[in-house]
Amino acid sequence: MDNFRRRNRDDHRRALDGVLNSSAHPPGMPAPRGGWRRTVRFEGLRSTNSKLDDFKRPEGFHSSQAVLNGPLRAAHPLADSSSPAPKADTKTSLLHMTLPSGGTLAEPGKKNKSKSKKSGPHSRWRIVRKWSLRSALALTVLALVTSGFLLFKGILKINKVFKGGGAAAALEGSDVKPELLKGEGDGRVNIVLFGKGGLGHDGADLTDTIIVASIDPLNKTTTLVSIPRDLWVTVPGYGSMKINAVYANAKNHALSRESKDKEAAEEAGVATEQQVISQVLGIPIHYYGMVDFAGFKQAVDVVGGVDIVVPPELAVKETLWDEASGRSYHLDVPAGPQHFDSMRALYFTRSRHTSPRGDFDRAERQRLFIQALSQKVLSAGTYTNPVKISQLMSAFGDHMSTDLSTKNALRLVEIGKGMDLSKLASIGLADPPNNYVRTDNVNGQSVVRPTAGFGDYSEIQNYIRNTLKDPYLAKEDAKLIVLNGTSVAGLATKKSDELKSYGYNITGVGDAPTQTYTQTILVDLTGGKKPYTRNYLEKRLELKTTTQLPDQTIQAQGADFVIILGQNE
């Protein structure tokens, strides 16, 4: 149709306005009233992009000098097949129209669709490419939708599991400022893990599994500490009970008040039991994790089971009753390499009646299994697999809660990647030669109490603090001298024993030259080179450090810090 834009060079004077009027009419056609007026309008003739597409008369297209031969003549509505075609005048023709062979003139207002369809290899390749692109686009959209669904689902589950609320300065990074650490032990990350039966089990809220995972982020080590579920404790405001009942009693007490907020009641139960555990072990508890039997089983299924080399002393054979299914389960775990599916794992960690040490053996099995499960979860095939992570979150979503935030959890995963979990330490309070608890009887029920006596946790605390030394305190390993500046006999020895229990390196104990000190003095002789030790001592002694000895006759004997006890002690 580009020929419509051309005009005869000889007709340049007549084509300026693009309009031709004539009184002539085609032969054999009656003239309408007023005569024939043939008009051709060329809109935007001067533009290179213009097209002939604006026919405003209802009669259609009328050309005064178009050649009406062949297909063009047949297509023209005013053409008369019996009349000879008019001759074309090349000098005066405004328009010479040439159409492709077999072409037709498009109707007014419609595009010409007379282009021939191409066929052959190129055409087939275009079709294949077109459908390939469409398929790729469809797959991309499907992947995005699926990923979006998994992400949305994961976010919902993660937010349900990782509620946040706990705090450990040691998770903020590898170089934590000393002033952010509240006291000795705060350089570690201590997480208490609770295991309860959950719905469908007797004593659904009894925390029969209590294990503290203490993580050293500097040296990238972890130690698991089991607390006997039958440990007899006294809880202010609640009385005396087994430690596994603390959470349930505090939670039910909160629910019995005017507020029926279940989440708030759960937090009250957890907080109460955390405080008791901190009192027993003598270390801060920064976070908790609570999981029931269903969540435990699902987690084991997600990772495809767990393989453990069972030592002879932890081999077990016992028939246990499954409250959820109402059936008996026959457990038989001999010594040696064993594979545990979810059901076998649950009963292996619950068995105790046929074990020589009862609950103490069960606690050791639980620590052994958690170590193996941790290795499986933190393996490259699990925590880097989005599907596995999504499945774990789904498993835990309705059966686990923790006051770790997602940021805390990611930091722990980062720390865990640098750990050798095969060397994970595992200790109990009744594991020889460290026998700090024993069984006893209270009002006809079997309980566990400290060897030192009911409510006396001093030996337990000394053992745990020295085993779980604050990494910053251990790294600086400052030397301390403790002097008695009062007339109270044995004061320096008592204070040094207390400091030793936190992991301080006491190199000397004695009396100060005079016993007239009213206030305790802490002298830093390092020139500020051991800021973590100074920070901990200032907070424990509730004072500020000085850099000069008050009495020049005092022999520091190479100590980094000198403590002179006053009457305020």
pLDDT tens readout for residues 481-508: 999 999 999 999 999 999 999 999 999 9
Q: What CA–CA distance (Å, rounded) separates 416 from 216?
A: 10
pLDDT band at 402 (very low <50, low <70, confident <90, very high): confident
357-369 average pLDDT score: 88
CB 532 within 8 A of CB 472: yes
Distance of CA 190 to the CA centre of its chain: 20
In terms of pLDDT, which residue wins out, 119 or 44?
A: 119
Give the count of beta carbons closer than 10 Å to the beta carbon of residue 4.
Answer: 16
| pLDDT value at residue 473 | 95
Q: Is the pLDDT of residue 568 over 50?
A: yes
CA angle 234, 228, 167 (to 5 degrees): 75
Global pTM reads 0.68
What is the overall mean pLDDT for the chain? 77
In terms of pLDDT, which residue wins out, 110 or 445?
A: 445
| pLDDT value at residue 72 | 39
Sequence letter at residue 66: A
| pLDDT value at residue 33 | 52
Q: Is the pLDDT of residue 240 over 90?
A: yes
CB 556 within 8 A of CB 532: no
| pLDDT value at residue 539 | 96
CB 475 within 8 A of CB 217: no
Q: Is the pLDDT of residue 107 over 80?
A: no
| pLDDT value at residue 315 | 93
270-284 average pLDDT score: 96
| pLDDT value at residue 157 | 55
Burial 109-124 (b: 16+ CB within 10 A, else e): eeeeeeeeeeeeeeee
Instruction: Supply the DSSP symbol for 247.
Output: H
